[in-house]
């Protein structure tokens, strides 16, 4: 009878230990998830900024091409 009680007590104690470990792991996963979401938001913001910069460059490229192909100006004087 004592052996059964000892096994039951050890079994319950190990369950509590596993519960603590699972809680710790879940907490770490939540922290990692928060970091990943923050990194994804930063990456999306950087992507949008890069797209806007590319659009500005495309607009400037047309102006530069016009200036490069324009006939040269004659100096005054």
**CA–CA dist 33, 27 (Å, integer):** 10
* Rg over CA atoms, the chain: 34
Each residue of 13-30: b (16+ CB within 10 Å) or e?
Answer: eeeeeeeeeeeeeeeeee
pLDDT tens by residue, 8-54: 666 666 666 788 889 999 999 999 999 999 999 999 999 999 999 99
Q: What is the pLDDT of residue 70?
A: 79
Q: What's the average model confidence in pLDDT over 62-68? A: 88
- The pTM for the full model equals 0.56
**CA–CA dist 41, 35 (Å, integer):** 10
């Amino acid at each position: 009878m004592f052996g059964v009680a000892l096994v039951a007590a050890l079994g319950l104690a190990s369950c509590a230990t596993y519960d603590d470990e699972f809680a710790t792991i879940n907490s770490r996963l939540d922290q990692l998830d928060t970091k990943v979401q923050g990194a994804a938001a930063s990456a999306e913001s950087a992507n949008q900024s890069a797209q806007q910069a590319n659009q500005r460059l495309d607009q400037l490229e047309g102006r530069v091409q016009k200036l490069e192909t324009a006939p040269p100006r004659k100096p005054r004087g």
